[in-house]
Amino acid sequence: MSNSIYLIHGYLANSESHWFPWLKKELRKNNKKLIAETLTNADNPEYHIWKKDIGSLLSNVKTGDSIVCHSLGCISTLDFLKNYTGPKLDKLILVAGFNEKLKSFPYLDDFINECQLDLEKTAQYFDKIIVFVSSNDVIVDPILTRNLAKQLSAELIVENNAGHFLESDGYTEFDSLLNFI
């Protein structure tokens, strides 16, 4: 069994944003490794480039590894996983995930439209899927995250007043997520 956790960040972020550095430090204390790379042009993401970046990042996953994604990183990773044929993984943890267009970010519509998901197939590659939703997310409407969780038959964890789980929302640590790893 592996102890690696792969992190895929979202729009306008990088591998050192928000609660990601804290998670890396906490996992190290438990002899686990967080593998995170900054996706190309996170302020102006291009579907094909992100798909290639995610494919490169996840190319060495092993049985027992887990994947943690945030926001646009969720739908991007789910899109990549539709063609996944590797070993069964431990957990898929989606934070503020969605698989529909965002009213607040219409300029991401083309990117989102490119993403073609096979959620039933993807779910088979994980022992457990957990989805975190915030009660007051103004970036990703909470109903979109709830819909995604339902479509994946995932365990839904509601965080009250967490915003979009950003540093600006006070999320420099994320204990409840760490408890699932």
Q: How far apart are CA 42 and CA 22, in angstroms?
A: 20
Where exactly are the structural domains of the chain?
4-180
* Contact present, 178 and 26 (Cβ < 8 Å): yes
Which residues fall within 8 angstroms of residue 181, CB to CB, at 6 or more apart? 5, 27, 32, 66, 68, 91, 93
Domain boundaries 4-180, CATH class: alpha beta
The residue length of the chain stands at 181
Element (H, E) at 16: none
Q: What is the pLDDT along the chain (181 residues), one digit of tens a residue?
A: 458 999 999 999 989 999 999 999 999 998 899 999 999 999 999 999 999 999 999 999 999 999 999 999 999 999 999 999 889 999 999 999 999 999 989 999 999 999 999 999 999 999 999 999 999 999 999 999 999 999 999 999 999 999 999 999 999 999 999 999 8
